[in-house]
Structure 1
Amino acid sequence: MATPHDLFDTLLASARAFCGSKEPPAPSVGQYLRTEIARRVPALGRGEEDAQRLQLAALATCFKLECCISGTHSMDLVALEPFGEYVSLPGLDCTFPGGYSGLPDHMLSALPEGSVLLNKAVRTIWWQGSFREEGDEARDFPIRVECEDGDTFLADHVIVTVPLGFLKERHQDFFQPPLPKRKAEAIRRLGFGTNNKIFLEFEQPFWEPQQQLLEVVWEDESPLEEPSANLEANWFKKLTGFVVLQPHGHVLCGFIAGEESEYMETLSDAEVLSTMTRVLRTLTGNPRLPAPRSVLRSRWHSASYTRGSYSYVAVGSSGDDIDVLAQPLPEDPKDPRPLQLLFPGEATHRTFYSTTHGALLSGWREAERLNQLFKAPGPAPQL
């Protein structure tokens, strides 16, 4: 008999197969999965109810993990037809030895000193204008970037790398004139959700040395039933489990997505630590399990320049919206001042959205647009 994980993986693979379908069987991945689960986990005979209940409970955990991967509150929000466009990059996850800052630090090392300014929050990007430096009437620029501290910068081209969550909340006043309707609609339709990590540090590990994962399954849950809407009482139940962080050996990393994750951000460290201690004591059956000595968690939704973690293709949107979001402005390719605004970012990569490599590749894509614009015409080919 297939395990719940095997069944869920099989159903996910079949969900991806509807890519390009004119009439997918359901609007969302969640609805499709639930219909298939109800069909494949039929009512069992007397004496087998417990086995069915546990199978459904494990499948509920699979749903939560997929919410973390997709960066969504519910798989009911993720569109079924374009789901298969996403491509998983082969190979293992890459962990930077000195932390994530190693990636931008490496990039910055190639730039002249002083060329990157920090703590310069931007209030408004004025484009399609005619702006001049004071005292220089000979040259005008189409763009003026106005910072919250009052400083301004004039430019021919601006690469806008803010997350989709920020654009959803601020694009109407962040760009002047406002973005064209087509791009504004793509921003509205695409999905953007929250996936947070909770790190717990222990004096001593309470798990086996070879253990890599502690999965959380709540026996009273089922993907075929509506989860509790009481965030205060049940937010921790959205937790999928904990990964043992190597080589530390005494740190667990938990994952939690959606509205429960956003609620977690409003709690104090002490409240999160206390709840995680209670969850782990329940999970292990050990009421005297020592509490973690420290907790650290991300707060992607609360951060005003992100407002969440990463994008997904929501019901009502498609990969075409990703392409529209990626298109530079002005829209007219014959505009005498092209490529004023360029839009890289994970939400602008049609097959690698939600990933760091998608963000990186989209940045190279926009840099290449400018390279092509500035490229001097080469010598005429020899006939």
Structure 2
Amino acid sequence: MAQNHTENNNNKKSQDLRPARGLRPSWQHWALGDVNMSAKKADDTGGQENQNECFQTCKVVIIGAGMAGLSAANHLMKNNIHDFVILEARNRVGGRIIAITIDGRKMELGANWIHGILGNPIYELASANGLVNIIQDNKPHNVVATLPDGRRVPFHIVQEIYDAYFWFFKRCEEYFLCKYIPPDGIESVGAHIRLEISIYLEQFPEHERRIRNLIFNYLLNRETCISGCNTMEEIDLMEIGSYTELPGGNVVLPGGYSSILGPLTKDIEEEKLLKGHPVASVRWKPPLNGFKSGTSGRQPAASPARKARAKVEVVCQNGKKFYADHVICTIPLGVLKENGKTVFDPPLPEYKMDSINRLCFGVVDKIYLEYERPFLNPGLTEVLCLWDPIDPSEPIHERWFKKIYSFSKVTETLLLAWISGDEAKYMETLPFDVVSEKCTAILRQFLNDPFIPKPKRCINTTWWSQPYTRGSYTAVGVGASQVDITNIAHPLYMQPTCSKPAVLFAGEHCHPSFYSTVHGAYLSGREAAQTLCVPDTPPEVVLDVEGTADLSSWIEGISLN
């Protein structure tokens, strides 16, 4: 029976033809999925029971118990700051790190791999806690590339096109690294690669171009899952090289990626980690007379006097209020895009909202197909589907499945497919049996075998539909840049003279070179916490003289007598 499980992010271009990047998939990509079986309603409501407006006071409120939030909490504790509370909307921790068990094995709906070893804090954390298997089982990867009529493409042609595409993409990355000027009218990665493809195909006779073009199209479809976008025409050419890949390849945690959450949560007291507490509003500039002391708090840390001195008020959807000196906000970029204007009071500065809107937050979903018995050749690990390029004018219901570019073998009875962009959004709206039947039809078509069995279970992620993610991970869209990531991460101060910010931001979307990765989220959380750990410094003097355009004109107006 088909089921939907959902709730409510090695070198990318290795010579292995498998996909892989980190809250991004790269050539062994991980898409962001979530699971919620019978608990969906509970998670969607966030446990919104009436708390009769009880309140709690603390030094720091951390919004979100994903990697960034847990990293921030641990760094605070290491610096002897224990007066904090974590507010998590779901009824679980981990955010976009989650797995389910299928046929006795952990299947990741979120992060699959630790991407890179050298300089990766996630690898260091996993290694220090005995979560890494030093001996990695690198099985041979054997693919078959097939056309819609079932004909197979010789592997040497696939390898030829892969090698060409590898260098096309490398040249795109060089624009950021070397500040080259692109050809006129070329702004996106997709446009640049298609230009290179057209030049490359000129060397072949007409009858040899089509198959090669289909392989390029397959690689571009896969790249949308790697980068987290609808099409590669959305990704800024000058910024694609801003993402930094750590050396060392990809590492799989034998106990599943969620095993990394254990070391991060074991020292956090239960009363400091509040699940089922979706945040409704963040008021970060108190009234002149402070927050009024109303109903007495029910928590030991609640103090009317301390409440009045608080700089930030956080109100949850269940009515509970938290008053703190600082807030670390790890709300995903997709949710900030949707609710950023309404959650914060005062609203986020215009420069910050502009940057939030310029960045992409793509949708990438997984589809798992579980079978009663094996049916693929034991030596085969992936079936590549070489579709004709998608015609965007074609109705979405007639083309959504053409974004599924391959079926990879997880076990002999379990296949995995990926889908991105608008097609992924549409897939999330379909009945589970429809997804299962369409995948079966694709396999039968491309393998030219009408006896391919139907799966006994189909599991697909629905990251776009989840209110606490609204997408998968961050990409730098056309017109955006690293500056936008820096703008989003920039903290908010209650007053210019304050020594420490009232609101800090963290998450994968807040790291300028590791965006879309788990280690990027971890580092951003640690950096936000470190800002609060440094000793208070005397507020700097801010000179604000009306009518002066620059410092020299202000100095000229000073009398030295």
Aligned equivalents of 1:327, 1:76: Cα separation in 2: 28
Q: Secondary structure at the match of 1:73?
A: coil
Q: 1:280 to 1:127 in 2, by over 3 A?
A: same
Q: 1:274 to 1:327 in 2, by over 3 A?
A: same
Per-residue CA deviation, residues 112-165 of structure 1 (Å, 9 max, x unaligned), is: 232101011111011021325546553310111111111111111111111101
Letter paired with 1:150 = G
Aligned equivalents of 1:42, 1:294: Cα separation in 2: 45
Report the counterpart of residue 242 of structure 1 in structure 2: 407
Report deviation, 1:331: 8.1
Letter paired with 1:304 = P
Whether the 8 Å contact between 1:322 and 1:347 is mirrored in structure 2 is yes
Q: Secondary structure at the match of 1:158?
A: strand
Aligned equivalents of 2:377, 2:361: Cα separation in 1: 37
Q: 1:331 to 1:75 in 2, by over 3 A?
A: farther
Letter paired with 1:93 = N
* From 534, 542, 546, the counterpart of 1:372: 534
* From 115, 127, 148, the counterpart of 2:317: 148
Taking every aligned residue pair, what percent have the same amino acid on both sides?
Answer: 35
Report deviation, 1:209: 2.5
Q: Secondary structure at the match of 2:427?
A: helix
Report the counterpart of residue 326 of structure 2 in structure 1: 157
Letter paired with 2:325 = D
Letter paired with 2:477 = A
* From 179, 191, 213, the counterpart of 1:21: 179
Report the counterpart of residue 330 of structure 1 in structure 2: 493
Letter paired with 1:229 = E
Please list, as runs of the form range in 1=range in 2, the aligned pairs for 1:13-162 lying within 5 A after superposition. Answer: 13-19=170-176, 21=179, 23-25=181-183, 26-42=186-202, 44-45=204-205, 49=207, 51-129=208-286, 130-131=290-291, 133-134=293-294, 136=303, 138-139=305-306, 140-162=309-331
TM-score by length of 1: 0.90
Report the counterpart of residue 344 of structure 2 in structure 1: 175
Aligned equivalents of 1:75, 1:155: Cα separation in 2: 42
Report deviation, 1:106: 2.9
Whether the 8 Å contact between 1:329 and 1:338 is mirrored in structure 2 is no
Aligned equivalents of 1:14, 1:226: Cα separation in 2: 27
Report deviation, 1:288: 1.0
Whether the 8 Å contact between 1:133 and 1:154 is mirrored in structure 2 is no
Q: Secondary structure at the match of 2:270?
A: coil
Q: 1:277 to 1:60 in 2, by over 3 A?
A: same
Aligned equivalents of 2:494, 2:442: Cα separation in 1: 52
Report the counterpart of residue 301 of structure 1 in structure 2: 464
Report the counterpart of residue 346 of structure 1 in structure 2: 508
Q: Secondary structure at the match of 1:154?
A: strand
Whether the 8 Å contact between 2:436 and 2:458 is mirrored in structure 1 is yes
Please list, as runs of the form range in 1=range in 2, the aligned pairs for 1:347-362 lying within 5 A after superposition. Answer: 347-362=509-524
Report deviation, 1:336: 2.2
Aligned equivalents of 1:153, 1:80: Cα separation in 2: 43
2:395 maps to 1:230: yes
Deviates more, 1:66-75 or 1:362-371: 362-371
Letter paired with 1:236 = F
Aligned equivalents of 1:360, 1:68: Cα separation in 2: 22
Letter paired with 1:30 = G
Report deviation, 1:373: 4.3
Whether the 8 Å contact between 1:142 and 1:337 is mirrored in structure 2 is no
* From 140, 152, 167, the counterpart of 1:10: 167
Aligned equivalents of 2:460, 2:524: Cα separation in 1: 28
Q: 1:287 to 1:364 in 2, by over 3 A?
A: same
Residues paired across the two proteins, number? 365
Q: 1:276 to 1:343 in 2, by over 3 A?
A: same
Per-residue CA deviation, residues 51-91 of structure 1 (Å, 9 max, x unaligned), is: 21110001100000000000000100000001111112333
2:480 maps to 1:317: yes
Report deviation, 1:244: 1.7
Report deviation, 1:7: 1.1
Whether the 8 Å contact between 1:353 and 1:359 is mirrored in structure 2 is yes
Alpha-carbon RMSD across the aligned residues, in angstroms, is 2.0
Report deviation, 1:249: 3.2
Whether the 8 Å contact between 2:228 and 2:472 is mirrored in structure 1 is yes
* From 241, 261, 276, the counterpart of 2:439: 276
Q: 1:180 to 1:360 in 2, by over 3 A?
A: same
Structure 2: gaps spanning 5 or more residues: 1-156, 297-302, 538-561
Aligned equivalents of 2:314, 2:385: Cα separation in 1: 48
2:428 maps to 1:265: yes
Report the counterpart of residue 131 of structure 2 in structure 1: none
Whether the 8 Å contact between 2:500 and 2:536 is mirrored in structure 1 is no
Report deviation, 1:43: 6.9
Q: Secondary structure at the match of 2:315?
A: strand
Structure 1: gaps spanning 5 or more residues: 376-383
Whether the 8 Å contact between 1:239 and 1:255 is mirrored in structure 2 is yes
Q: Secondary structure at the match of 1:156?
A: strand
Aligned equivalents of 1:137, 1:287: Cα separation in 2: 72
Aligned equivalents of 2:494, 2:253: Cα separation in 1: 38
Aligned equivalents of 1:113, 1:374: Cα separation in 2: 29
